[in-house]
Structure 1
Amino acid sequence: MSSSMTCGLQEMPSLATAHSTWDWHQEQLKVMFVGGPNTRKDYHIEEGEEVFYQLEGDMVLRVLEQGKHRDVVIRQGEIFLLPARVPHSPQRFANTVGLVVERRRLETELDGLRYYVGDTMDVLFEKWFYCKDLGTQLAPIIQEFFSSEQYRTGKPIPDQLLKEPPFPLSTRSIMEPMSLEAWLDSHRRELQAGAPLSLFGDTYETQVTAYGQGSSEGLRQNVDVWLWQLASGAQGQGRRTPCRRASAHFWDWDSHTGPTLGALVPRQTQTFTQVLRPNSLHLILLLLFSRRAPRW
């Protein structure tokens, strides 16, 4: 992996030696770095989307796509957007680290944890819950399953399954993971010309936008924005910057001062501006992660 893609891994605690999660930002936008190994049989379901990016090593994301089981291999350096309401089961290996970005749940939303009968779509065991901290809430549910009759017999108990789940599963086709570095290289001219480009289009709740040189204005919504600075060339590493919810975001690149991020903060008259990196680089690339306010 090039130095520009390591995202300042030296700043993070060691995650690649044993399964662990570093919750780097936990507000409206949830930003986590997850290490392996972690092999699991359960499938998680939520009403929001998730972005996966593999920093070190590969992972497998098992999903249920349109009624069929499928393994999505996300290799080192690849980025992937998982649609909402898709059952998924991350499989992580030793000495790997991945980035996961999702959003805080609405008070009316429930997450699901399911076990299926083999490779079928038949639900063996399920629990629905309001998710505040998935890292602490999963373990008791998993332990309940391993102590259950369903686990011992491999047969579901119909009376313990919801007749009508909180929401239908997604019927959307799932994209293939893509190399972030290759995508940036293929769009380098547009980014150098100052055109912001969306990685996943505008049909998702999640917005991941790449910005090149020049001045740009970002969101005008009261949502969190997570800015990830990438630089090509030999100088420097990437840098991550969380930005609190604001009505508008903008950034500017100057060869003398480096890139700056600004935000107009609601209910305040001042504008805060943060110098992200006072360094002269051949090319500055910024990835801006955000979530639209849910529509439901």
Structure 2
Amino acid sequence: MSNRYLYDGRDFFVMVIKGPNARNDFHLVDSEEYFYQLRGNIKVRIREGERMVDHIVREGETFFIPPNVPHSPQRPPDTIGVVVERRRPPGEKEHVIFYCENCGALVQDIHFDCADIVEHFSQAMLDFWNDDARRTCKKCGTKVEKPEPMKPL
């Protein structure tokens, strides 16, 4: 996955994101996120209560994620999208969440102050993948495995 800032302002930032990505984590913040899909179709997986719901965002469409909704954008190869997010005030936490694919239990909720989403998000992911104990579900013992890159929809 390739993230680049188009605009990095005081109140909000705009990123262009190119697929493919390989994600099974969920992102959660205390503010809205706005997606505009420039090229290709993506899937945004949302955690609603105890279940996962997949939303397809087609080329030319927009998608809005309300605050505090765990979401996982799945970007196939050769897709390009724009994401607009509010700048986090100091002390507000960014969350990267992993759920067990076997039983649905929370495996890890990594939260951190995020001055630079590209840098800090990547570091949180590396730390998680390099620690087998953090990747193992305490409820059923299943280990969260690193996902393969997204295939075309």
Letter in 2 for 1:140: Q
Where 1:138 maps in the other structure, the secondary structure is helix
Where 1:142 maps in the other structure, the secondary structure is helix
Query: Alignment identity in percent?
Result: 33
| Counterpart-to-counterpart distance in 2, 1:32 and 1:73 | 20
Could you say which residue in structure 1 is the equivalent of 2:97?
A: 114
Structure 1 position 81 matched with structure 2 position 71? no
Structure 1 position 40 matched with structure 2 position 23? yes
- Structure of larger gyration radius: 1
TM-score w.r.t. length of structure 2: 0.83
Could you say which residue in structure 1 is the equivalent of 2:8?
A: 26
| Matched pairs, number | 137
| Counterpart-to-counterpart distance in 2, 1:75 and 1:119 | 29
Flag the 1:52–1:103 CA change in 2: closer, same or farther, 3 A.
Answer: same
| Counterpart-to-counterpart distance in 2, 1:75 and 1:64 | 20
Flag as ranges the 4+ runs of structure 1 deviating above 4 A: none
Q: CA contact under 8 A between 2:36 and 2:62: conserved in structure 1?
A: yes
Q: CA contact under 8 A between 2:105 and 2:137: conserved in structure 1?
A: no
Where 2:21 maps in the other structure, the secondary structure is coil
Could you say which residue in structure 2 is the equivalent of 1:71?
A: 54
Where 2:97 maps in the other structure, the secondary structure is strand
CA RMSD, Structure 1 to Structure 2 (Å):
1.6
Q: CA contact under 8 A between 1:150 and 1:156: conserved in structure 2?
A: no
| Counterpart-to-counterpart distance in 2, 1:71 and 1:117 | 17
Letter in 1 for 2:84: V
Could you say which residue in structure 2 is the equivalent of 1:58?
A: 41
Could you say which residue in structure 1 is the equivalent of 2:145?
A: none
1:124 to 102, 107, 112: 107
1:47-75 CA distance string (max 9 Å, x none): 01100111100111111023321111101
Could you say which residue in structure 2 is the equivalent of 1:103?
A: 86
Where 1:30 maps in the other structure, the secondary structure is strand
TM-score w.r.t. length of structure 1: 0.44
Gaps (5+ residues) in structure 2? Answer: 140-153
Q: CA contact under 8 A between 1:42 and 1:114: conserved in structure 2?
A: yes
Could you say which residue in structure 2 is the equivalent of 1:205?
A: none
